[in-house]
Amino acid sequence: MARKFFVGGNFKMNGTVSSIKEIVNNLNNASLDPEVEVVVSPPSIYLHLVRDNLTKNIEVAAQNVFYKGNGAYTGEISVEQLKDSNINWAILGHSERRTILQESDETVSLKTKYATENGVGVIWCCGESLEEREAGKTIEVVSKQLESLKSHISDWSKIVIAYEPIWAIGTGKVATTEQAQEVHKAIRDWLKNVSDKVAEETRILYGGSVNEKNCGELGKQPDIDGFLVGGASLKPAFVDIINCKKQ
């Protein structure tokens, strides 16, 4: 089965009402490759603004979701609230939340389990630090993150994996095409521990300073099924990244 190319845009903690509207208008007016699945993820305060104004052909993701239902969890967002707001995706396990906010593999896995079991798709992030890369531990680190996820979930159909080397996020550094493909293939091979079907069908995105200049070559790799884009998703060039397979 051919895996549908997938491009996610993670706005992170960026944007104003004015700039978010400009991004939405740009996407609404762009000619986007219909063979690409697109999901954008604004800060939570702008989720409704984006969902209410963005073309329905593009899905919207929260940047976080809690691992329990509605209740006394100040500052969190529930899956039920996302569904009620027509938000069908969440980004979980991003390195900024793993490192800055100290989210453990266990916490990320619990969030992913609750989200997927209750109807929200997850862009699940994994990746290694520069120190781990230089120590030759990339596959070990990513495998440990995957093991935690596997111990909590059984249905992988609502999960898209995003490999994001931490040392390449927002730094301007990009893993070489060969480095990215090598890790993506290792992830796909690891997924055979779940099943051959999951390994074949799960989409694996690359994230880490993806832009309109490097996306074309990366997108040609056999195990790179799209991108999770950070800073470039705030710019008009995001359209070029979405359309990279047509170029």
Cα–Cα distance measured from residue 145 to residue 166, given in angstroms and rounded to the nearest whole number: 14
Residues 6+ apart with CB under 8 A from 219: 5, 226, 227, 244, 245
Could you give the angle at the alpha carbon of 149 between the alpha carbons of 181 and 131, nearest 5°?
55
Residues 7-50 pLDDT 10s = 999 999 999 999 999 999 999 999 999 999 999 999 999 999 99
pTM (two decimals): 0.96
**CATH at 147:** 3.20.20.70
Q: What is the mean pLDDT of residues 139-166?
A: 96
Exposed e or buried b per residue across 59-83, where buried means at least 16 C-beta atoms within 10 angstroms of its C-beta: bbbbbbbbbeeeeeeeeebbbebbe
Residues 145-158 pLDDT 10s = 999 999 999 999 99
Say what the pLDDT of residue 64 is: 98
Domain count, the chain: 1
> Which member of 37, 94, 103, 212 is catalytic?
94
Q: Residue 51's Cα: distance from chain center in Å?
A: 18
Question: Is 184 an annotated catalytic residue?
Answer: no
> Which member of 152, 164, 184, 212 is catalytic?
164
- Residue 58 — pLDDT band, cuts 50, 70, 90? very high
Domain residues for 212?
5-246
Question: Is 48 an annotated catalytic residue?
Answer: no
